[in-house]
Copies of this chain bind each other. A is one copy, B any other.
Amino acid sequence: MVSMKDVARLANVSVGTVSGVLNGKKAIKPANVEKVLAAVEELGYRPNMLARSLRTNVSNSIGLIIPDITNPYYPELARGVEDAAHMANFTLFLCNSDRSAEKEWYYAQALVQKKVDGMIIVKPRCTLEQLKRLKQSCKLVLADGTDSELEEFDLINVDNKAGAVSAVNLLLTYGHRDIAFIGGIVESQSAKHRLEAYQATLACHNIPYRPELVRECMYDWRGGRVAAQSLLTSNGPKPTAIFVGNDILAFGVIRGIYDCGLRVPEDISVCGFDDIAMSELSIPALTTVRQPKYEVGRQSAELLLQRIQTDSSETVHKVLDTSVIFRNTVSRSPIRKIYAD
């Protein structure tokens, strides 16, 4: 390993002046600049960032803790933060918490010990206490951290409620009145919000809420299929449309509908949530509510970076908008057709 000392020796100057030319912060005699640069070149010297960071307390690294990169929601988000980090010459630690408070906290501490300048936690699970402690050790932004007690932190959220409202409104607009809701049980916070929005929107339209049209299910496509079958197979009222808590589940639901011998969207309309990559690709392409996943990542990272560079101002709470993406799984209600308004 070639160190600054070697460069200094070869260039016939002190390590101080080598450091000076490398950081460009000091005025150095041009002749020496050249000598140093030549020596750096000749030796192929590259500064040791560990040493620099130890000295300056700046690591140019940030951490990202997400539930699971394998969940189609997260690659885009991760890409958003990586792009922002890259632009700013930062480097990214990636950690999968598997929605476990313990693993999340373990990683958070590991990153602190590695002296990241800051970290982003998506859907934080650890305690408020821990989050507070974390904030003492590095900059922190929470993404999808929709708990009300999180007010004192920087937050980048998505407007789940509004998104769910537009989904249900879309279905209503297409003449559906018997609208079911199927949501994953695990995603507590966001699933809850979507369910609440579903109820509220129906209420707005004077449509009674019927619990028989609501199913909670496991958080993978099989869960969606099971729920759809249970729904269509029960004695209860039959929906003409289903609003599903997320796209993966929606694909399971569609599968379940097919298994019951029904068609989408001719017999039953389906609207998802998230707009993951395959939603555009599936046949029929999934009508869904798009979350700006990349933007959540990018903006979280940019906010974090800004905090790192100059810890200014007060806490920011940003909530990003969703948009409904109309594709091919929603059609007019076969029961009573009305015009879209």
Contacts and interface: CB of A to CB of B under 8 A. Distances in A.
B49 A115 contact: yes
A19 B55 CA distance: 20
Interface string A214-232: 0000000100000000000
B94 A82 contact: yes
Interface string A44-82: 101111110110000101000000111010111011001
Interface string A105-131: 001011111110000000000000000
A282 interface: yes
Interface in A26-56: 44, 46-51, 53-54
A87 to B, nearest CB: 12
Contacts of A113: 46-49
Given A91-B110, A283-B258, A79 B72 contact: no
A281 interface: yes
A277 interface: yes
A57 to B, nearest CB: 8
Query: How many identical subunits does the complex contain?
Result: 2
B251 A281 contact: yes
Interface in A206-265: 221, 248, 251-252, 254-255, 258
B59 A50 contact: yes
A221 B75 contact: no
A79 B59 contact: no
B281 A283 contact: no
A325 interface: no
A150 interface: no
Contact of A91 (B68, B111, B252, B255): B111
Nearest to A282: B282
A278 interface: yes
Contacts of A93: 61, 91-94
21 contacts: A46-B113, A48-B113, A48-B115, A49-B114, A50-B114, A51-B54, A54-B54, A61-B93, A69-B69, A69-B78, A72-B277, A75-B75, A82-B96, A91-B107, A92-B94, A92-B95, A221-B281, A248-B281, A252-B281, A278-B281, A282-B283
- In order of increasing CB-CB distance, the 3 nearest A-B pairs are A278-B278, A94-B94, A49-B113
